Chains A and B, each alone.
Chain A
Amino acid sequence: MDSSSGPPPEFDYLFKLLMIGDSGVGKSTLLLSFTSDTFEDLSPTIGVDFKVKHVTVGGKKLKLAIWDTAGQERFRTLTSSYYRGAQGVIMVYDVTRRETFTNLSDIWAKEIDLYSTNQDCIKMLVGNKVDKESERVVSKKEGIDFAREYGCLFIECSAKTRVNVEQCFEELVLKILETPSLLEEGSAVVKRNIFKQKPPETNESTGSCC
Chain B
Amino acid sequence: MITIIVQTVSRIMIPFIQLFGLYVIMHGHISPGGGFQGGAIFAASLILLTLTFELAEAEKRAPFRMLIAIAVSGALVFTGIGMLGILFGGYFLDFLVIPLPIPPADVSELMIVSIEIAIGVAVMALLIIIFFGMAEEVFE
The reply to whether chain A is a binding partner of chain B is no
Q: Which residues of B contact A (CB under 8 A)?
A: none
Q: Which residues of A contact B (CB under 8 A)?
A: none
